[in-house]
């Protein structure tokens, strides 16, 4: 593996994944908004500036988790599977986003919802 191959794979990964990050964030925001709207009377007391920082922290964690795609993408780009991988990357994005949606829903319903008063 040469330095130029690694650099090319890295920049290819950045071009692919960072174009899709805004959609990932929009999907998770939509899931969050869905749950808050669905149970608005219950969540209303939680809408305060202090909880805004917690929400921003969770958004940061979600974006750090998004970077896990690079751990899968870079080795596959550098392997013999790079041609088929480049056509199938969308499946990793879809599975990762679906998992993040599930985690977001779980976090809201199991960790936050019971404690909102």
DSSP state of 80: T
Of 16, 2, 5, 28, give the one whose Cα is nearest residue 96: 28
How far apart are alpha carbons 18 and 101 in whole angstroms?
18
Q: Are 58 and 107 in contact (CB under 8 A)?
A: yes
Per-chain mean pLDDT for the chain: 89
How far apart are alpha carbons 104 and 101 in whole angstroms?
5
User: Global pTM?
Assistant: 0.87
What is the mean predicted confidence (pLDDT) over 73-90? 91
The domain ranges of the chain are: 3-115
Please report which confidence band the pLDDT of residue 69 belongs to, taking 50, 70 and 90 as the band edges: very high
The better pLDDT of the pair 54, 61 is held by 61
Q: Are 27 and 97 in contact (CB under 8 A)?
A: yes
- Residue 113: the pLDDT is 65
């Amino acid at each position: 593996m040469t330095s130029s191959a690694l650099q090319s794979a890295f920049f290819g990964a950045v071009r692919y994944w960072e174009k899709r990050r805004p959609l990932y964030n929009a999907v998770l925001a939509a899931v969050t908004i869905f749950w808050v709207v669905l149970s608005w009377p219950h969540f209303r007391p939680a809408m305060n500036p202090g909880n805004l920082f917690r929400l921003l922290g969770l958004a940061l964690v979600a974006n750090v988790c998004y970077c896990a795609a690079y751990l899968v993408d870079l080795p596959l780009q550098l392997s013999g599977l790079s041609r088929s991988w480049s056509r199938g990357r969308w499946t990793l994005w879809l599975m990762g986003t679906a998992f993040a949606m599930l985690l977001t829903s779980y976090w809201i319903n199991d960790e936050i919802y019971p404690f909102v008063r």
